[in-house]
Amino acid sequence: MISVDEHLDWVLAQVEPVATVTLPVRRAQSLVTTTDVHSSVDLPRFDNSSMDGYAVRRADLEGASSENPVVLPVAGDVAAGDQERHALAPGQVWRIMTGAPMPEGADAVVKVEDTDGHPHEPQLRVHPDEGAHIRRAGEDVKAGDLVLPAGSRIGPGEIAALLSSGVSEIEVVGPVRVAILSTGDELVPAGEPVGPGQIIDSNGPMLEALVREAGAYVVHVGHLPDDEGAIKKQLHRLLDHADLVITTGGVSKGEFDLVKKVLSGQGSMEFVEVAMQPGKPQGFGVLGRRDVPVFTLPGNPVSTLVSFEVFVRPALQRRAGRSEGGRLATGFATEGWRSSPERQTYTRVRIDRDPTGKYAVSPAGGAGSHLVGPLAVADALAVSDPKAAEVTAGSEVDLLLLRPRSEIDARLHAEDDDHDEEG
């Protein structure tokens, strides 16, 4: 058996980011930039008002106050989007709206609250500071400024910054297209009648959700029959269309574990036993002319989930050009549990809070890798020391979170509030 780290290192050494593509910014969400991106314009693009009010010459309002308002005639209205270049003559004001370009000669804005709001001859009740309520061209971003460094992941804020900066297309590491294949003649797609000896394929849809949640694109979710020829044909077709392939099942020692048989000796494919529980039988290699990473995960549902978190998620991130770490945390065991002395054990746990506010974890269901039920309440995998035969109550454990931390914390917060109300 090899260690989890040895296997992960061997896998990641063969995984490269997918090819770069140039996409409209709006279609690049969650992808990673490959070059530094600079603004082509000043932001704001022109001096404009930050308030609805009146554009003024300060010199005309010397001494203005509530007791002593100055009344000046309005030369006209400037709305946001007004394309005409206006000029402000001494002794006049322009009524101006938020975002509208400043008229030439105006050096401040008096907001409408500091006036009586009259459309033609307002009473102006303050002597504004130089530049009051003016947003200056380039005060936010100057033409040529760096908007996004290479390696940034594009989210909603990045989209706003890029588009405002005049960038409409961007070079990114391409979307990672993933194909998912379940194997085993016992499997029935959800929604179809389940006959004797049959079970519903839950791994396919679970992996689909995991891949989506990890920010990649699912291009195929299918089923491989226990038939060598059919498996070969499907896999080779997918190697032309997918950037990563995940299969589940058919990799242990059964007579019908055909995935292993078909893929053995292909590309860099290796089938190994990893010192982990669950997830021991693992297969990986890069295949085809595009060196597509192929993971063959063990079929027990919990083994599939653990294998995804430990091996596939990091590989997907690398394929997408991302380097962000896993969802790591620590917690304290509220009770003891057994772990495998020879294998790194991943125990499904539920997270609560201890009285000091730290994560308190307890096993969610039993240890069997076929136990799907408790998956619905598991928040994390507790990773045990491979040499220890148990985790003792009160000890600190490393956690691999199965949900975003924010989601777990929100639930704990809501539960704290409920307790407060009861108490």
Ligand X SMILES: Nc1nc2c(c(=O)[nH]1)N[C@H]1C(S)=C(S)[C@@H](COP(=O)(O)OP(=O)(O)OC[C@H]3O[C@@H](n4cnc5c(N)ncnc54)[C@H](O)[C@@H]3O)O[C@H]1N2
Which residues of the chain form contacts with ligand X (CB under 6 A)? 182, 184, 186-187, 199, 201-204, 248-254, 257, 278, 280-281, 298-301, 303, 369-370
Q: How far is the CB of 303 from ligand MOO (least distance, A)?
A: 3
Q: Which does 247 bind (CB under 5 to 8 A by kind): ligand MOO, ligand X, none?
A: none
How many other CB atoms sit within 10 Å of the CB of residue 269?
Answer: 17
- Residue number with CB closer to ligand MOO (135 or 280): 280
Q: 283 contacts which partner out of ligand MOO, ligand X, none, CB within 5 to 8 A by kind?
A: none
Whole-angstrom Cα Rg for the chain = 31
Q: Given the structure tokens 């100057």, which residue do they identify?
A: 142
Min CB(152)–ligand MOO separation in Å: 37
Closer by beta carbon to ligand X, 249 or else 314: 249
CB of 175 to ligand X, least distance (A): 25
Phi and psi of 144, rounded to 5°? Answer: 95, -15
Nearer to ligand X, 150 or 194 (CB): 194
CA 325 to chain centre: 12
In the complex, least distance from residue 316 CB atom to ligand X, rounded to whole angstroms: 19
| Distance of alpha carbon 107 from alpha carbon 133, whole angstroms | 10
DSSP code for 373: G
Report which residue's Cβ sits closest to ligand X.
299
Binding partner at 248 among ligand X, ligand MOO, none, C-beta below 5 to 8 Å by kind: ligand X
Indicate the DSSP class of residue 27.
G
- Minimum CB distance to ligand X smaller for 131 or for 205: 205
Q: How far is the CB of 369 from ligand MOO (least distance, A)?
A: 3
365 interface partner picked from ligand MOO, ligand X, none, CB below 5 to 8 A per type: none
- Using the minimum distance from each CB to ligand X, give the nearer residue, 227 or 409: 227
How near is the Cβ of 286 to ligand X at its closest, in Å?
Answer: 20
CA–CA dist 246, 206 (Å, integer): 12
Q: Which residues contact residue 323 at a Cβ distance below 8 angstroms, ignoring those fewer than 6 apart?
A: 151, 317
Pick from 21, 339, 4: nearest CA to 170: 21
- Tally the residues of the chain: 423
Positions touching ligand MOO (CB under 6 A) are 277-280, 298, 300, 303, 369
Q: At closest approach, how far in Å is the CB of 207 from ligand X?
A: 9
112 vs 367, beta carbon nearer ligand MOO? 367
Cα(62)–Cα(78) distance, rounded to whole angstroms? Answer: 24
Binding partner at 254 among ligand X, ligand MOO, none, C-beta below 5 to 8 Å by kind: ligand X
d(CA 310, CA 304): 10
Q: Tell me what percent of the chain is helix, strand and coil, each rounded to the nearest 5.
A: 25, 30, 45
Taking the complex as a whole, how short is the minimal distance between the CB of residue 45 and ligand X, in angstroms? 55
Report the partner that residue 321 touches, choosing among ligand MOO, ligand X, none (CB closer than 5 to 8 A by kind). Answer: none
* Cα atoms in the 13 Å half-sphere on the side-chain side of 113: 2
Taking the C-alpha atoms of residue 269 and residue 283, their distance in angstroms, rounded to an integer, is 7
CB burial of residue 377 (10 Å; 0-12, 13-18, 19+): exposed
- Binding partner selected for residue 339 from ligand MOO, ligand X, none, CB under the kind-specific 5 to 8 Å limit: none
Which of ligand MOO, ligand X, none sits in contact with 155, Cβ below 5 to 8 A by type?
Answer: none
Which strand (E) or helix (H) includes residue 260?
helix 258-263
Nearer to ligand MOO, 204 or 281 (CB): 281
Residue spans of alpha helices (H) in 13-118:
none
Identity of the residue, 248 or 344, whose beta carbon is nearer to ligand X in the bound complex: 248
